[in-house]
């Protein structure tokens, strides 16, 4: 019997439209380690046929902390670019460090400028930091996203003492465990994203 290769499967197996995944890099600090983590995570999504992926880097979009009916011109310009991407997304992954036992103000501003864009969609987390690996930031973000009517994914990916585990070139020194954790989280994210997307076709979310 001939073996079916991955390339054959791509041609012969009908696929649904890939789910739109928006990856949000939350840190906007000088000297941040976040881009190393986001580069690693984006590599985990390359071979997946179930997602089309776009990165939003909050360092490049300063949304400020003052929320008003009429945002400042620079904030309005940033929202004009970001909001449609969030609205069209089927799922999200937030990549966050932990600052003082919590998450960065940049991700809170992004969340607070929006509401309906999060509703009825799943959110996964990749965190990094010192001993806690950013997990306290994730636990607090779960509470915030619950208020937005989003569904947070049980499995996470966390990097404890993150900088010690990557080379100067940004490669993980022993990637087996973290790669497996990313696969498990993305599998759960894909299930929830497709399930919720299908459900909303027949019965729009009423939150």
- Residue 122 contacts by C-beta under 8 Å, 6 or more apart in sequence? 91, 92, 150, 151, 152, 153, 189, 192, 193, 196
Question: In Å, how far are 3, 60, 200 from 205, measured between CA atoms?
Answer: 43, 32, 6
pLDDT at 11: 41
Residue-wise pLDDT tens digits, 146-158: 999 999 999 999 9
Question: Residues 42, 47, 51, CA angle at the centre, nearest 5°?
Answer: 70
Domain chopping of the chain, boundaries? 18-67+74-202
Cα–Cα nearest to 122, from 94, 147, 90: 90
Beta strands in the chain (DSSP E): 19-25, 51-57, 91-97, 122-129, 151-152, 157-160
Superfamily of domain 18-67+74-202: Flavodoxin domain (3.40.50.360)
Q: Select from 85, 80, 38, 41 the least CA-distant residue to 59.
A: 38
- Three-class secondary structure of residue 19 per DSSP: strand
Q: How far apart are CA 66 and CA 104, in angstroms?
A: 15
Q: Flag whether pLDDT at 31 surpasses 90.
A: no
How much of the chain is in helix, strand and coil states, percent to nearest 5?
Answer: 40, 20, 40
Q: Against a cut of 0.95, is the pTM above it?
A: no
pLDDT band at 78 (very low <50, low <70, confident <90, very high): very high
Spacing of C-alpha 126 from chain mean position: 7
pLDDT tens readout for residues 97-125: 999 999 999 999 999 999 999 999 999 99
């Amino acid at each position: 019997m001939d073996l079916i290769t991955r390339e054959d499967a791509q041609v012969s197996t009908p696929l649904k439209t890939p789910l739109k995944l928006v990856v949000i890099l939350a840190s906007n600090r000088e000297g941040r380690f976040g881009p190393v983590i986001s580069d690693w995570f984006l590599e985990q999504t390359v071979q997946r046929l179930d997602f089309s992926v776009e990165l939003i880097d909050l360092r490049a979009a300063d949304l400020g902390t003052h929320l008003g009916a009429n945002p400042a011109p620079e904030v309005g310009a940033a929202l004009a670019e970001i909001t449609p991407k969030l609205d069209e997304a089927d799922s999200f992954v937030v990549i966050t460090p932990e600052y003082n036992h919590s998450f960065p103000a940049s991700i809170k501003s992004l969340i607070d400028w929006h509401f309906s864009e999060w509703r009825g969609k799943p959110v996964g987390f990749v965190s990094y930091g010192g001993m806690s690996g950013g997990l306290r930031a994730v636990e607090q973000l779960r509470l915030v996203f619950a208020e937005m009517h989003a569904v947070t994914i049980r499995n996470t990916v966390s990097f404890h003492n993150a900088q010690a585990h990557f080379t100067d070139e940004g490669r993980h020194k022993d990637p087996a465990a973290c790669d497996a954790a990313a696969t498990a989280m993305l599998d759960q994210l894909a299930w929830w994203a497709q399930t919720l997307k299908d459900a909303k076709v027949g019965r729009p979310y009423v939150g």
